[in-house]
Amino acid sequence: MKDFTNRLNLPVLPLRGVVMFPKMMLNFDVNRMRSKRAVDMAVEGDQLIFLTAQMDAGVNEPEVEDIYKVGVVCRVKQVVKEDRKSTRVVVEGLWRGAIVESMPNDSCLFAAVEPYGDTKVKALTTRDIALMRSLKATFERYMELTPKLPTDILFRIGTASDPGELADYVASNVMLDTEIKQIILETVNISDRLEVLIDAMQNEIFIMSVEQDIMDKAKERIDQSQRDYYLREQMNVIRDELGENGDFNDIDELRKKITDMKLPEEVEKALMKECSRLERLPVGTNESSVIETYIDTVLELPWNTVTEEKIDLDAVREQLDRDHYGLDKVKKRVLEQLAVRKLSDKAKGQIICLVGPPGVGKTSIAMSIGDAIGRKSGRVALGGVRDEAEIRGHRRTYIASMPGRIINAVRKCGTRNPLLILDEVDKLSSDYKGDPSSALLEVLDSEQNYAFVDHYIDLPFDLSDVMFITTANDADAIPAPLRDRMDVIELPSYTRVEKFNIAKKHLLPKQMDLCGIRRKNFRITDKAIYAVIDYYTREAGVRNLERELTAILRKAAVAILSDPDTVVRVSDKNLEAFLGVKKYLDDVSAKKDEVGLVNGLAWTTVGGTLLPLECVVMPGSGKIELTGSLGDVMQESAKAAITAIRIRCDKYHIDPDFYKNYDIHIHALEGAIPKDGPSAGVTMATALYSSLTGLPVRADVAMTGEISISGKVLPIGGLKEKSMAAYKAGVKHVIIPKENERDLSEFDAELLEHITYHPVSTVDEVLALAIVTKDKPAEKSAKGRKKAAKTVRSEELGVRS
């Protein structure tokens, strides 16, 4: 018998996922070459070998640093070579050992091993006895949950008297993690070892209890499912015998309907699969109703239904002119697209986006386009939509799921090539549910929408034949990638003449028909319609105009009911009797030439307006006061105007230190209304120059244009609306930036007839045109300027009257 208290040099065999304990018999297969050599070396020597667990079981060729230092010295009992690759080894654990030094060896791991801890218990304490009993009770509970363990294990545990051997034996026979078993192996103190083992087993018992509970519940469900299946099969047999099995007949009819529709192969295959699922489900269950709804929805889509277009350009043009006055840009663009489509079916039309203020007829003209070409129309309201599923649909896993708005609109139209109007595309928003505008990118791209997949349908549907027309109030509010996919057409606000024609040709006949008033009972003069436009509405479109005309007709209806033969006559003289006191007054330009008062022009969401600007220069300390609810951009324009005048002090004989010796106050009238934008720059510069020099500004001149600090006049927008405001105010001359001269080609002949436009490039030209000089009277100056100024007439621009 060897003295094991001394150091031994032994071959080391690393174990994967196994922890060896003393007094434990273990048989295992050895496949790694170094491990086989370690076994051979032990057999050739004194049959002793050191077994320890690997820290990482994934390491194929472990070194000493990859294994635990504490293991068990074992005696090799039997070695059986099963084949070339595998060797079966049976070992018996002797005592705990620890590696104290790694020994060099080319064949295998070799190390110096010393005994680890004292496993002999001299006398049992009361605590040890209590821990042993607790461990035995815990193991009995463990065996109840793992009935596969041999019963003789419980007998041996029950008769064990040594606490150390009991702990080792239990640890070697329970399913614990390698790390926990290694902790138990390395715990020298017997009491501590028992506590660690009891805690680990209690945790394992709890996990096993939960697993058992899960398995029991799963078994119950499986048993119930099997029971239901057998009962359903018996019911089917009974129905067959009675000839009442109509469900299967319905499914057969559904399959026949799918086949007869000649759907795309992918769609037909998916629907047939859903029919097979439906056939296996019991009647009336939630899942069966979901599948039925899905199949019905897919079959309602117009997979092969196409409406024949009637593209007659003359007829389309005639109908659009009949339904809408003006809007020439939109009509021209639509006719161009229809002409291309008439020549080639391959052309995929670009998406049209109508951008303009509220009430100018964006949606109504889109509907008219569909009627004119014979396409069915559908409208999709996008205002306030913030959930991506509204566009792409909800997945069928959700309760009350449904297709998105695009697929729903196509389904309601009943054709694969409808005209869809996507209204208020600039009002889309986003939140945590997604970004609807991003979902529209695929819908509005003719290169991608030929295989649009709605989440609910989950099948590709061709949207390339759909004609999309979108509407928006503000093009800048549309995300750039979405705006890039659309052909944006600007619809400006209506002029006074356009509103008159729309009211007379469209609104009045429509409302008279709705109110039941015949033409012989109602008369309204043209001046009265103009008065309604000028004094009772202030808008870009015609919605309020239609409301005011309806109010007149309602009062007329009361009079007609009293006397059916009466004729209600409305003129500008008695208009207040129908609509009350005037809501708005005319923009009137200055009556005479004044110092520091300039007629500016501004654009608003309801059209153009005259914006008089006043400037006063007073002795002071160089303060600049800007009043009239001016925005940041307008305030910066005022500073640019001051700089432009400062650099011209020598030229115009102005005190170069005026900005230090005087206080400057610039005020925009109607101070309660917020104003912003750069187009009042030349107006402010002119007002400042007039105040500094004491020279008056011509009352019959209005102006607009952005100014740079060097005095250049830069282009602006909304010139048509501003010109209409000048015309209404009685202004004869309008100063505009040189680069806006090209916009005059699109103006009405009426404006070009009554207003003389003066394109300018610098503020010097503006001052030469607008300021009344001391050496020339105002009247004479006006006549002279009319000949000398560069003007733009309708005949020069080639504009047809």
pLDDT digits (tens, 9 = 90+) for 351-373: 888 888 888 888 888 888 888 88
Give me the sheet containing 377-381, strands edge to edge: 377-381, 419-423, 467-472, 351-355, 486-490
Tens digit of pLDDT for each residue in 306-320? 888 777 888 888 888
Cα–Cα distance measured from residue 50 to residue 38, given in angstroms and rounded to the nearest whole number: 9
The kind and range of the H/E element at 546 are helix 543-562
Beta strand pairing status for 48-53 and 8-15? parallel
Cα–Cα distance measured from residue 641 to residue 681, given in angstroms and rounded to the nearest whole number: 6
Whole-number pLDDT of residue 62:
86
What rounded mean pLDDT belongs to the chain?
A: 82
Share above pLDDT 90 across residues of the chain, in percent, rounded to a whole number: 13
Is residue 321 predicted with pLDDT exceeding 60?
yes
Is residue 789 predicted with pLDDT exceeding 70?
no
Tens digit of pLDDT for each residue in 542-585? 888 899 999 999 999 998 888 888 888 999 889 888 888 888 77
Cα–Cα distance measured from residue 629 to residue 666, given in angstroms and rounded to the nearest whole number: 11
According to the 3-state scheme, what is the secondary structure of 355-415?
Answer: ECCCCCCHHHHHHHHHHHHCCCEEEEECCCCCCCHHHHCCCCCCCCCCCCHHHHHHHHHCC
Q: Could you tell me which of 678, 684, 696 has the C-alpha nearest to residue 641? A: 684
Query: Catalytic site residue 161?
Result: no
Share above pLDDT 70 across residues of the chain, in percent, rounded to a whole number: 89
Residue 119 CB neighbours (<10 A): 19
Q: Residue 763's pLDDT band (boundaries 50, 70, 90)? A: very high
Least confident of 157-161, 319-323, 491-495: 157-161
The amino acid occupying position 306 is V
CB 464 within 8 Å of CB 348: yes
Written as one string, the DSSP assignment of 478-537 is S-HHHHHTEEEEE-PPPPHHHHHHHIIIIIHHHHHHHHT--GGGEEE-HHHHHHHHHHS-
Write down the catalytic residue from 181, 499, 720, 722.
Answer: 722
> Is 3.40.50.300 the CATH number for 313-490?
yes
Locate the domains of the chain by residue range.
8-115, 246-300, 313-490, 496-579, 597-797
Tens digit of pLDDT for each residue in 185-212? 888 888 888 888 888 888 888 888 888 8
Mean pLDDT for the stretch of residues 106-133: 78
Is residue 4 predicted with pLDDT exceeding 70?
no
Is residue 797 predicted with pLDDT exceeding 50?
no
CA atoms within 13 A on the CB side of 160: 24
pTM score: 0.59
For 673, phi and psi rounded to 5 degrees? -95, 120
The encoded tokens of residue 535 equal: 């004094």
Whole-number pLDDT of residue 774:
61
Q: Is 351 exposed, middle or buried (0-12, 13-18, 19+ CB in 10 A)?
A: buried
524 vs 745, residue with greater confidence: 524
The encoded tokens of residue 449 equal: 């929408």
Question: Rounded to the nearest 5 degrees, what angle is found at the Cα of 103, between the Cα atoms of 93 and 75?
Answer: 15
For 127, phi and psi rounded to 5 degrees? -65, -40
Q: Residue 241's pLDDT band (boundaries 50, 70, 90)? A: low
- What architecture does CATH give domain 597-797? 2-Layer Sandwich (3.30)
Mean pLDDT for the stretch of residues 115-132: 74
Whole-number pLDDT of residue 227:
74
CATH dotted code for 8-115: 2.30.130.40
Select from 2.60.40.10, 3.60.150.10, 3.90.550.10, 1.10.8.60 the CATH code of 496-579.
1.10.8.60
Q: Is 76 exposed, middle or buried (0-12, 13-18, 19+ CB in 10 A)?
A: buried
Tens digit of pLDDT for each residue in 597-612? 999 998 876 667 888 9
Query: Catalytic site residue 722?
Result: yes
Whole-number pLDDT of residue 733:
92
Q: In whole angstroms, how far apart are CA 492 and each of 141, 320, 540, 720, 744?
A: 86, 18, 8, 8, 14
What does the CA dihedral 497, 498, 504, 505 come to, rounded to 10 degrees?
A: 140
Whole-number pLDDT of residue 778:
43
Q: Residue 284's pLDDT band (boundaries 50, 70, 90)? A: low
Buried b (16+ CB within 10 A) or exposed e, 702-714: bbbbbbbeebbbb
The kind and range of the H/E element at 737 are strand 733-737
- Mark residue 50 as left, alpha or beta (left: phi above 0; alpha: psi -120 to 50; beta: remaining): beta
Q: In whole angstroms, how far apart are CA 121 and each of 96, 189, 300?
A: 15, 10, 85
Write down the catalytic residue from 637, 679, 723, 794.
Answer: 679
Mean pLDDT for the stretch of residues 66-90: 85
